[in-house]
Structures are given as structure tokens and as C-alpha cells.
Amino acid sequence: MKNVAIFASGSGTNAENITRYFSQSESIKVAVVLSNNKNVGVHDRVNKLGVPSFVFSREEFVEGTVVLAKLAEYRTDLIVLAGFMNKISDALLKAYPGKIINIHPALLPKHGGKGMYGMHVHEAVVAAGEKESGITIHYVNENYDEGTTIFQAKCPVLPTDTPEEVAAKVHALEYAHYPHVIEELLK
């Protein structure tokens, strides 16, 4: 059995989607969810599906010992970022080289980097007059959104689209593709 650890900072819709996708798998499971925020929806979403979740402090994340111990406890094979809002610590990068992935709500290298998350990305896409947007699933390195691309999927951006409409299209791509890419990586 391959074990996935999800890191999330928000409502947890992607974490829930991934957990549901693997709930019947005989070879892959979401073993644990870790978060930097105790007051977010991801905990309720995954706990209802039988997945434990834990909260860590900023200091514990940067230093790494507590987080690495939790990942070891759950025999983590792959770390999946799903709406996680912190830069990955050096301790995690060193302990899990090539085993941490993220999903970005745009077609990198456009509209990535520090501060480019959530609606900020979709607003930037619309403001730039882009004809398409989408998702980029990539390996995580020491820089925001600069790791090697694993997969991209595109959707059209119409001249009349609002950032909210672009967000809905991008979320649909996230839900459709992220679990499949995780599965392929763990085969």
C-alpha cells in the first residue's frame, strides 16, 4: 500500500476529492492530512471519510522534526499539496526529494510565484486577457511554482469570463486530473 499525505490550508475540497478517489483503491490511500490551520474545513471533510488530520505550528513546520515524525508514522510515500499556503521547508525538501507535488491554478510559468494563489491567480489571468488557463501539477522545489512540470490541462478563457468563472473551470480540471496524476506517480 502506498501512502499519501496531503497538506492543506483551507476548505479542503481537493483533499476530499483525492481522498474519495482513493477510498476504494487496494494500492493507494490517503493516510493523513496535515495543516497549518486548525480552523479550516479540511479537517471535517477528511475526518468524515476516516482520515486523521493534524495541525502544526509555523515553528514546527520550519524546524521539521514534528512534521517529519508524523509523516514517518504514516509511512508517507508522497506528499500532495492541495491548497497549502506555506512555502515548503528545507527539512521536508531534504527528507522527500522528488516526492512532493503541488497543483497550481494556472498554466505555469505564467501567473506563478509568491502571492499567486486562489482568486489572485484567476484575477491576474483575466486582467492579462489570457485566452486560456488551466492547471499545472509540478514537483516542489525551494522556489514557489518553479519545480518541474508533471502535467498540465487547459481550459478556454472567454473575453466575457469573470475571475469566478475562470476559477470554476480550473476547479473542474483540478478535480478531474489531480487524483489520476497522483495515481500514475505511485504506480
**With the CA atoms of 44, 48, 50 and 56 taken in that order, what torsion angle do they form, in degrees rounded to the nearest 10?**
0
Q: Which amino acid is at 29?
A: K
Burial class (CB in 10 A: 0-12, 13-18, 19+), 112: buried
Question: Exactly one of 104, 111, 122, 138 is catalytic; which is it?
Answer: 104
Is 122 among the residues known to form the active site? no
DSSP class of residue 87 equals: P
Q: Are strands 28-35 and 2-8 parallel, antiparallel or unpaired?
A: parallel
Which strands form 53-55's sheet, in the order they lie side by side? 53-55, 28-35, 2-8, 78-81, 100-104, 132-139, 149-156
Q: Catalytic residues, which ones?
A: 104
